[in-house]
Amino acid sequence: MRLAAALALALGLPLPAAADVTARYTLGKEALSVEVDDGGDYRAEIAGKFALIRHGGSDYVVIFQGTTPLVVTRQAFLDLAVARIPATPPKPDAKRDTAIVKQGPEELVASRRGNAWAIRLDRPNANTIEVVMCPDRDLAPVGKVFAGVVDAGLTAFDKLIPPSNFAEQVRFVFAKGTPLRGSLIEQFRLESVSMAPIDAARFALPGPVLDSKAFDKAMSAPIPTHAETVEIEPAPPPPLP
């Protein structure tokens, strides 16, 4: 769950924000926050587990190994994730499926209104993706983060997806606004929205950036227990002149 959810968030694309906004969701049994500032930096996080941070024009994934934050560039994380997926690419001559999209009734979620959309392949027993999209402009920065997650994910795994217009239709739906509820790895639902200014420190990296090899090695190491965790005292500040 930890890696899967981090992967989903790691696929977000950088897009400028109109104003500081924080949206809080439930994601399965967890709490997910998506913070976007007026310069386009953002932080999507399940506290103490993982975060996706965009800062200074670059994207990073942070995964907490116990209490230790492991930081890696988003691209390095995605390259590792894609390499580990045991999937067989579809044959070039495979039959192309058709994705069906239907707009449903309006729903009210966390005092926001949006329309339900359903997407499925036109084949027997195909799963249906359902998401409620809200067009409110003040939520647009958060919606762009979600749209980036979807777009980059479809691009990264394009060669593993059976031929169809599914990706095109999913992008079409996620361009409708900001999701209020739906499914992205887990069921998610908007709980609250805040337009309060966000401290720039929220977008600072919590540790050094690891290269791909070091990150993979750290993720493969066993998580230390509480008894094994060693607290490192910070160095004292230099004396005043």
pLDDT digits (tens, 9 = 90+) for 7-33: 555 555 544 445 899 999 999 999 999
Instruction: Report how far residue 143's alpha carbon sits from residue 150's, in angstroms, rounded to the nearest whole number.
Output: 11
| pLDDT of 153 above 90 | no
Residue 227 placed within a domain: no
What is the C-alpha separation between 178 and 164, in angstroms, rounded?
Answer: 25
Is 187 domain-assigned? Answer: yes
CB 158 within 8 A of CB 165: no
Residue 16: both structure tokens together? 């400028």
- Per the structure block, which two tokens stand in for 62? 């942070």
Question: Does residue 26 form part of some domain?
Answer: yes
Tokens of 111: 């005092």
Q: Is residue 236 part of a domain?
A: no
**pLDDT tens readout for residues 173-221:** 999 999 999 987 789 999 999 999 999 999 999 999 999 999 999 988 7
Reported as type and span, the H/E element at residue 192 is strand 186-194
Cβ atoms 187, 106 nearer than 8 A:
no
Nearest CA to 20 out of 180, 142, 190 is that of: 142
Centre a 10 Å sphere on the Cβ of residue 92 and count the other Cβ atoms it contains: 6
d(CA 116, CA 130): 7
- List the CATH number of the domain containing 18: 2.50.20
The lowest-confidence range among 119-123, 129-133, 165-169, 235-239 is 235-239
Q: How many domains does the chain have?
A: 1
Q: Which domain holds residue 175?
A: 2-220
CA 227 from chain centre, in angstroms, equals: 32
* H helix intervals, the chain: 2-10, 74-83, 140-156, 166-174, 212-220
First-to-last C-alpha distance (Å) of the chain: 51
**Is the pTM higher than 0.95?**
no
Q: Does the residue 186 lie in any domain?
A: yes
Q: What is the predicted pLDDT for the residue at 62?
A: 95
Q: Tens digit of pLDDT for each residue in 85-119?
A: 776 666 566 667 888 899 999 999 999 999 999 99
The answer to whether residue 47 sits within a structural domain is: yes
Q: What is the dihedral of CA 35, 36, 41, 47, to 10 degrees?
A: 10
Within a domain: 101 = yes
Torsion, Cα of 61, 23, 187, 149 (10° steps): -40
Mean pLDDT value across residues 116-130? 89
Q: Rounded to the nearest 5 degrees, what angle is found at the Cα of 88, between the Cα atoms of 87 and 94? A: 135
